[in-house]
Amino acid sequence: MILKRLLILTLLISSISLSAQIEEAELDKLIQKTLTTFDVPGISVGVFKDGKEVYAKGHGVRSLTTKKDMNSNTLVGVASNSKGFTCFALAMMVDAGKLQWDDPVRKYIPEFQLHDPWVTEHFTVRDLVTHRSGMGLGAGDLMFFPEGNDFTVQDVINNVKHLEPETSFRSKFAYNNNMFIIAGEVLKRVSGLSWEDFIETKIMEPVGMKNSKASYNRISDKSNIIDAHTRSEGKVIQIPHDWSETANAAGGIVSNVHDMMTWAKFLMNDAVTENGERLLDSRLFHELWQLQTPLTVRPGDWYNSNFRGYGLGWFVTDVKGGHKQVYHTGGLIGTVTQFTMIPDLDLAIVVLTNQMNGSAFNTITNTIKDSYLGYANRNWLEKYGSRNTDYLKYNDSIKADVYAKVSKIKGSPILPKPKQIVGTYTDDWFGDIIISHNEKGYSIKCERSPRLFGELLPYNATTYVAKWNDRSYDADVFVQFTFNEKGEAVSATMKYIAPITDFSFDFHDLELVKTN
């Protein structure tokens, strides 16, 4: 009897600790400190627990220019949190008998080709959305990143065959947006609707996401939408919205915390809407959250996780005591977002920001999550704050060292003459990069992505630095030339200067050959 009572008491205490909610005033204070610590203009946060919204607020401003408040209705591009919608849509086509996850992609897109002919024939719809293509991290992302290029979805389909794999097929996780773009085209060809129309009419409308759209250009009322911001030359500045419509299936959705919590409620209700409509067979729905591509759990994992990996459009792991966590993050130039669910606790956390610093959303999500999991205060703000400061200093020091060397070598006799390097350099999938010279020096311009334009500065006898005019990109790269026996440049490769550069600036994947 005593043991029984102790067991009941233990379960009761556990239940209380798991249902505890961080105090609203305490959370408000944390978010305000997060804004300051990570120099983020605005953050909106939503917490969904036990069937209802328990917190939905905006903090800070949605724009440094207008100074208008960020609030819970403020629209934000959720970026790669769109991938869960893409996979849900494909699962609906499986449910309708129009598609199978393990069908070859070429069954629906006959012109689809990858670098390896065998992989091309065996590459399935499931492979498109599980980041196991064999290509490297962000391979080919320059076809949609940054905005302003002229690549279409069909260009992406036609060009992926030029992207050489880094590992064997299905052997390693490497995040890939272009495969999701192609998955969106599969959905279009199977359903007869554009990806955007399908997401809005077949998912958002029945789920009740009344303020969300499948792409930025579909937002007609932009009176309460963020402006994007980023750190440039040591200072946070406002920048133009940046997202290519070509990549909507990988990251185009615009939403707010209320709608994202509505999405979470629907998902944690086994894909049944508030009106009782089931949008997806239960078995197919739960397959979305099953591990497809494993990832290593880090030693000393903060949540004592036993497994981690990618499902179908979702990261999945377990946290403290085996609670399954389903989550994703998203990032555009100027904003990052995080969406987290722990279904057996009926808990969801949404953090939307207008500055590209992931330490901010991790601080908030982890603090909220800890309060429900029963952890003592682990002071994530201090942990991530000090780490963020050190990381920025590290990157700034790298860039300062590079440009110090650039200044010293200016005018050196060891540098090539303009006629040795000026010309057009062509990559099979990215197209032409033109290097010019005049009395002011060298310039570099990417023909199909004209916003990538800037100075080309000498670094040593064979290497220059591409310093992009748009300093918000933080994506300056080394340009390494290869010369023939006559001293003429015949090819070039690129490599980012500092690790802070977003992986979607995949200049390192270019194989540039001088064509004139």
Question: pLDDT per residue over 461-514, tens digit each?
Answer: 999 999 999 999 999 999 999 999 999 999 999 999 999 999 999 999 999 999
Residues of the chain with pLDDT under 70: 1-20
Whether 332 and 427 map to the same domain: the answer is no
User: Which of 351, 378, 405 finishes a domain?
Assistant: 378
The reported pLDDT for the residue numbered 21 is 79
Helices 2-19/358-373 angle, 10° precision: 150
Buried b (16+ CB within 10 A) or exposed e, 310-337: bbbbbbbbbbbeebebbbbbbbbbbbbb
> Could you tell me the residue range of the domain that residue 460 belongs to?
395-514
Whether 242 and 336 map to the same domain: the answer is yes
Q: Please check whether residue 32 is in contact with residue 364, taking contact to mean a CB–CB distance below 8 angstroms.
A: no
Whether 372 and 444 map to the same domain: the answer is no
Give me the residues paired with residue 386 across strands. Answer: none
> In the numeric block, which tokens belong to residue 176?
């890939």
User: Which of 378, 404, 436 finishes a domain?
Assistant: 378
Give me the residues paired with residue 494 across strands. Answer: 479
Name the region of 263 (left: φ>0; alpha: ψ -120 to 50; beta: rest). alpha
The answer to the question of residue 118 being in a domain is yes
Whether 480 and 336 map to the same domain: the answer is no
The reported pLDDT for the residue numbered 20 is 57
Q: What is the CATH number of the domain that holds 428?
A: 2.40.128.50
Whether 273 and 358 map to the same domain: the answer is yes
Q: Please check whether residue 52 is in contact with residue 229, taking contact to mean a CB–CB distance below 8 angstroms.
A: no
ω into 416 cis (within 30 of 0): no
Question: Cβ atoms within 10 A of the Cβ of 432, count?
Answer: 16
The answer to the question of residue 56 being in a domain is no
Whether 211 and 158 map to the same domain: the answer is yes
The answer to the question of residue 155 being in a domain is yes
Q: Please check whether residue 481 is in contact with residue 469, taking contact to mean a CB–CB distance below 8 angstroms.
A: no
> 478 φ, ψ to 5°?
-75, 140
How much of the chain exceeds pLDDT 70, in percent?
A: 96
CA nearest 41: which of 332, 234, 236, 223? 236
The reported pLDDT for the residue numbered 114 is 98
Give me the residues paired with residue 488 across strands. Answer: none
**Could you give the count of Cα atoms lying within 13 Å of 357 in the half-sphere of its Cβ?**
27
Buried b (16+ CB within 10 A) or exposed e, 76-88: bbbbbbbbbbbbb
Q: Please check whether residue 333 is in contact with residue 502, taking contact to mean a CB–CB distance below 8 angstroms.
A: yes
The reported pLDDT for the residue numbered 422 is 98
User: Which of 326, 349, 378 finishes a domain?
Assistant: 378
Whether 32 and 110 map to the same domain: the answer is yes
- pTM of the complete model: 0.94
Whether 141 and 193 map to the same domain: the answer is yes
Whether 337 and 413 map to the same domain: the answer is no
Q: What is the CATH number of the domain that holds 118?
A: 3.40.710.10
The answer to the question of residue 39 being in a domain is yes
The answer to the question of residue 450 being in a domain is yes
Count of residues in the chain? 516
Whether 208 and 238 map to the same domain: the answer is yes
Whether 371 and 433 map to the same domain: the answer is no
The answer to the question of residue 456 being in a domain is yes
Q: Please check whether residue 113 is in contact with residue 299, taking contact to mean a CB–CB distance below 8 angstroms.
A: no
The reported pLDDT for the residue numbered 336 is 97
Whether 36 and 170 map to the same domain: the answer is yes
**How many structural domains comprise the chain?**
2
> In the numeric block, which tokens belong to residue 414?
């060891």
The answer to the question of residue 66 being in a domain is no
Determine the straight-line distance between the first and last CA of the chain, rounded to whole angstroms: 89
The answer to the question of residue 58 being in a domain is no
